Homo-oligomer: A and B are copies of this chain.
Amino acid sequence: MALMAASTSSSSPSTKLPLSVYKYSSYSYSYVPENVLNDNPSDQSSRWSSDSNNPPQYLMLKLERPAIVESIKFGKYEKTHVCNLKKFKVYGGLTEDHLIEILDSGLKNDHIPESFPVRNTIDGNNFPCRYVKIMPIQAWGPSFNFSIWSVELHGVDDWHRVKACMNWYNTYREREAIRLCLKHFRQRHYMEAFQELSKKTKVSLEHPLLTELHDSLVLRGEYEKCEDVVRRACQEGLFDQYISQQDYKPIWTPIQPVSNNKEPHSDTRPGMRGGHQMCIDVNSETIYLFGGWDGNVDLADFWAYHVPTHEWSCLSKNAEEDGGPSARSCHKMCLDPERKQIFALGRYLDPSMRSATILKCDFYMYDIMSERWTLITDDTHSMGGPQLIFDHQMAIDTDQQTIYIFGGRVLASPTEAERNNQDQQFSGLFSFHVPTNTWTKLLDDCAQLRSRIGHSMLFHPVKRVLYIFAGQRAKEYLNDFLAYHVDTGTIEVVSDGTNKESCQAGFTQRATIDPDLNEIHVLSGLSRDKDKRDNVKNSFWVYEINRDKWSCIYKNENTGQQYWIKMQHIEPVPRFAHQLVYDHKRKKHYLFGGNPGKDSLPKMRLDDFWSLQLLRPSQKFLLRKCCFLIRKYHFLELACSDSCAAMSFLQTQVYGTIDKEDKEECEEFQLLTTNLFKAYAAGDTSLMEGETPEYFSQRTELFDKLASFFPETMTQPKGNLIDMIPIDG
């Protein structure tokens, strides 16, 4: 489900839309389609059921009046049911033959009705539907027929509003149709038809700058002027949208901190460890690191790394001695950059150390300015907060000075665990309001928000949402992706984990959020579970929140020891129990330490320190590419008429634009010479009526390539008319 909520103007209230069943693929026995119009959760027979699961199966509803559909609600049977729809799509439109996809989702196999916002905008404008088609794709029971128990559509059918949308939608389609024609005619050099159509419809094909580019390039062959236009466009930032849509490339840099002390692994920088915690103050560009496990003992040292000066400073050799938390690992920390405060909560305790007397969860605050630790409480549970937990998550809402804590395993004494009659107990969702020192339990471990360990939780300060995903619960790896709206307490299922296109995060991923770019970054770690077939060792994923889209920008599946020794200064070896923090202002990640999971050296921990930048092609890079393209086509045109001039142009002008380090580009350049010796009809430029010159289609090809770098709102349509011709002969 996309995170973008369906939007309609708030002026018209959403109502239940009257509808009827219009068409269907099949039904079995008495499970007629009309049953979906009634919601009888206790009646086993009150449903539509297809007569097989052979695709395509569908149910088409017709609204009594055209409406802007905002959501679709599915009722269910009072128990789980194998015929429930695990996966389905919904299409909508004004005519039954021209529907667009408005939802791609699935139902939980339970008895709780579910409601989904549906897509109802094109280009930011609402479009109306008359027909809504539900297409079951998968049932929960793999060999069972599809059943739908009840369906409601909600939205706006106020005629005044709908009519306006219909007018807009018709105008939109009309305009897009004309733009496709204009593009086609210009490509084919039907200039008179192009002009008459432009004149009559007043529809513009593109931004005037692109028309200028087209005319100088395609009509007049002024290649130099064309370079000018491109240079100007690049300078004006017109290529930035294109650049922002390009894949990131990850650049890892090992950080060698400045140190007066030449002895390695001395006290001037933190030693090897895993299960430590880090947080970053993006204002002062300082990274804080506390505790961890060095392979033998828990640590209590506390460090700060100042990015601009590349310097580590040790704030405490033993924080406990300075009034701070004792040595520990698997705790969590968060930082309030406004008030310069660091909070720390939770820890792992070896089973041998779990006696009831010490199973309290202490909670510390470190004040950066005064360099002092404060024990907020020695037992959060007694204050209404969580019990002693580890492998939980912690995130701070700086504006509201509220800390959220979710998940983690509750450390209970053996006797207590026995009393509760359960192996593992997981902690729910808590909030802590800093100014009033108030704990609130928001949710227990429950079906809606299943607790877990080793998950990721990130707070988006603008959307005011906690993103929670992945993690483990006993032997189960969770793949769901949830959004908890902190102000309303509602939970949104971003993904139920069945979508294989998303990051298959396990237990050891590390995630960060960029609230400006609306991106979540996930570095997958080494799987702790040796039995889990996990081919991907190091991979980096980006989730674009607004587009609800995952992309893997980097994968390294190498596992050989030799390989990673060779790579030790180039890329971090796969690991777990490491830490990753993100400076969203400078768009830089920092990674420190962890457990490389070496069978031969189980106690080995790492102390390497890396920065990671995600880079996209620069303006400069793109501009050079454009110039190379332009000169390449210029050369190809020259080569047809004047081999000599072309040769010289190739050697100077084209050569000047290539990146000599780029092997592929150099090869492409070398291949260009072969065009010098192709036979062409001598420079006869007179043309028959209706014929387009040879160079025209080549120049058009170049123009289309260059146009693709401009924002879509400025350019001719992407599609081509001839690709839309239906083939049904």
Measured CB to CB, the residues of A under 8 A from B are 26, 29, 51-55, 87, 95, 97-98, 100, 121-124, 137-138, 142-143, 173-174, 176-177, 180-181, 184-185, 190, 192-193, 195-197, 199-202, 498, 500, 533, 690, 719, 721-727, 729
Contact call A193/B200, Cβ cutoff below 8 A: yes
A174: chain B residues within 8 A (beta carbon): 722
Q: Is the interface of A mostly helix, strand, loop or mixed?
A: mixed
Q: If the complex has contacts A192-B196, A200-B190, are A54 and B500 also in contact, measured as CB distance less than 8 A?
A: yes
Say yes or no: A190 contacts B201, CB within 8 Å. yes
| B residues near A202, Cβ cutoff 8 Å | 690
Evaluate contact between B723 and A138: CB separation under 8 angstroms. no
Contacts known (A193-B200, A200-B190, A200-B690); A138 close to B173, Cβ less than 8 A: no
Which residues of the other chain, B, contact A196 by a CB distance below 8 angstroms? Answer: 190, 192-193, 195-196
Beyond A55-B87, A143-B143, list 19 extra A-B contacts (CB 8 Å).
Answer: A29-B533, A51-B500, A52-B500, A53-B142, A55-B137, A55-B138, A98-B723, A100-B727, A124-B729, A142-B142, A176-B722, A177-B184, A177-B722, A180-B725, A185-B197, A192-B196, A192-B199, A193-B197, A200-B690
Q: How far is the CB of A336 from chain B (nearest CB, A)?
A: 40
Whether A727 pairs with B122 at a CB distance below 8 angstroms is yes
Q: Are B121 and A722 in contact (CB under 8 A)?
A: no
Q: What residues of chain B lie closer than 8 Å to A184, measured between beta carbons?
A: 177, 181
Residue of B nearest to A87 (CB): B54
Q: Which 4 A-B pairs have the closest CB atoms?
A: A142-B143, A193-B197, A192-B196, A193-B196
A721 CA to B724 CA in the complex, in Å? 9
A52 to chain B, nearest CB (A): 7
Are B192 and A729 in contact, with the CB atoms below 8 A?
A: no
CB pair B726–A719 under 8 Å, yes or no, is: yes
Q: Are A190 and B180 in contact (CB under 8 A)?
A: no
A122 touches B726 (CB 8 A): no
Chain B residues whose C-beta falls within 8 Å of the C-beta of A52 in the assembled complex: 500
Cβ–Cβ < 8 Å partners of A201 in chain B: 190
CB distance from A91 to the nearest CB of B (A): 11
- Tell me whether A726 and B724 are in contact in the complex, defined as CB-CB below 8 angstroms, given that A26-B500, A55-B138, A190-B200 are known contacts: yes
A to B CB contacts below 8 Å, 21 in the list? A53-B138, A54-B138, A54-B498, A54-B500, A121-B729, A123-B729, A124-B729, A173-B722, A176-B725, A177-B184, A177-B722, A180-B721, A181-B184, A190-B196, A190-B201, A192-B200, A193-B193, A193-B200, A195-B196, A719-B726, A724-B725
Q: Give, as a whole number of angstroms, the nearest-CB distance from A4 to chain B.
A: 12
Q: How far is the CA of A163 from the CA of B278 in the complex (A)?
A: 63
Residue of B nearest to A169 (CB): B727
In the complex, which of the residues B54, B199, B200, B725 contacts A173, with contact meaning CB atoms closer than 8 Å? B725
In angstroms, Cα B195 to Cα A431, docked, is: 72
- Nearest CB in chain B: distance from A84 CB, A: 15
Task: Select from chain B the residue with minimum beta-carbon distance to A723.
Answer: B98
B724 touches A724 (CB 8 A): yes
Q: A625 CA to B122 CA in the complex, in Å?
A: 41
B97–A723 CB distance below 8 A: yes
Residues on the B chain within 8 Å of A53, using CB:
138, 142
How far is the CB of A67 from the nearest CB of chain B, in Å?
A: 18
Q: In the complex, which residues of chain B have a beta carbon less than 8 angstroms from the beta carbon of A729?
A: 121-124
Residues of B within 8 A of A176 (CB): 722, 725
State the Cβ distance, A94 to closest chain B Cβ, in Å: 10
A172 to chain B, nearest CB (A): 8
In the complex, the chain B residue whose C-beta lies closest to that of A124 is: B729
Residues of B within 8 A of A87 (CB): 54-55
CB contacts (< 8 Å) of A97 on chain B: these are 723
Please, which residues of chain B bring their CB within 8 A of the CB of A177? 184, 721-722, 724-725
Least Cβ distance of A526 to chain B in Å? 19
Please name all residues of chain B whose beta carbon is closer than 8 Å to the beta carbon of A51 when the two chains form the complex.
500
> How distant is the Cα of A725 from the Cα of B202 in the complex, in angstroms?
19
Q: Give the Cβ gap from A96 to chain B, nearest Cβ, in Å.
A: 12
Docked Cα-Cα span, A201 to B196, in Å, equals: 15
Determine how close the nearest CB of chain B comes to the CB of A34; give it in whole angstroms: 16
Interchain nearest-CB distance for A1 vs B (Å): 16
Nearest CB in chain B to that of A184: its residue: B177
A200 CB contacts on chain B under 8 angstroms: 190, 192-193, 690
Q: Please give me the residue from chain B that is nearest to A29 by CB atom.
A: B533
CA–CA, A195 and B725, complex, Å: 22
In the complex the two chains form, what is the Cα distance from A29 to B535 in whole Å?
A: 9
Cα A690 to Cα B196 in complex, Å, equals 12
Nearest residue, chain B, Cβ from A720: B177
Q: How far is the CB of A383 from chain B (nearest CB, A)?
A: 46
CB of A303, distance to nearest CB on chain B (Å): 43
CB distance from A181 to the nearest CB of B (A): 5
Q: How far is the CA of A157 from the CA of B512 in the complex (A)?
A: 52
Q: Which residues of B contact A500 (CB under 8 A)?
A: 26, 51-52, 54
Residue pair B55, A55 in contact (C-beta under 8 Å): yes
Residue of A29, A197, A729 contacting most chain B CB atoms (<10 Å): A729
A53 to B86, CA, bound (A): 12
A200 to nearest B CB, angstroms?
Answer: 5
A123 to B726, CA, bound (A): 12
Q: Which B residues lie within 8 Å of A143 (CB)?
A: 142-143
A142 CA to B143 CA, complexed, in Å: 5
**Nearest CB on B from A126, distance (A):** 12
Residues of B within 8 A of A725 (CB): 173, 176-177, 180, 724
> Complex: how many Å from CA A184 to CA B185?
14
Nearest-neighbor residue (CB-CB) of A179 within chain B = B725
Q: How far does the Cβ of A147 sit from chain B's closest Cβ, in whole Å? A: 16
Enumerate chain B residues within 8 angstroms of A54, measured Cβ to Cβ.
Answer: 87, 137-138, 498, 500
Please give, as numbers and ranges, the residues of chain B lying within 8 Å of A123 by CB-CB distance.
729
Q: How far is the CB of A115 from chain B (nearest CB, A)?
A: 23
Bound CA span A97–B720, Å? 12
Please give the distance in Å from A30's CB to the nearest CB on chain B: 10
